[in-house]
């Protein structure tokens, strides 16, 4: 497997949190960051897909989010 190496600068507190998180997950920093990056990229792709679907329906994210509390309240009342 080929890898691409990066040099990353982090705030000391963030670096400490990264080391602790990797250790807690019983993995190394590179593997932990790779997982986090994949999750962030997936999140961005899902957000773009949601925006596309909402646009097709004539909605925005803000409009959808405004409906969420109303939908929860309706569900509780039923």
pLDDT digit string, tens, across residues 8-33:
999 999 999 999 999 999 999 999 99
pLDDT of the residue at 67: 85
pTM summary value: 0.73
Handedness of CA 25, 30, 32, 35 (dihedral sign): negative
Taking the CA atoms of residue 20, residue 24, residue 30 and residue 31 in that order, the dihedral angle to the nearest 10 degrees is -160
């Amino acid at each position: 497997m080929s890898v691409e190496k990066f040099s990353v600068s982090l705030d000391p507190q963030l670096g400490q949190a990264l080391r602790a998180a990797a250790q807690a997950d019983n993995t190394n920093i590179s593997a932990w960051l790779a997982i986090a990056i994949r999750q962030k990229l997936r999140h961005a792709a899902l957000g773009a897909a949601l925006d596309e679907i909402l646009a097709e329906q004539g909605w925005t994210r803000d409009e959808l989010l405004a409906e969420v509390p109303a939908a929860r309240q309706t569900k509780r009342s039923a």
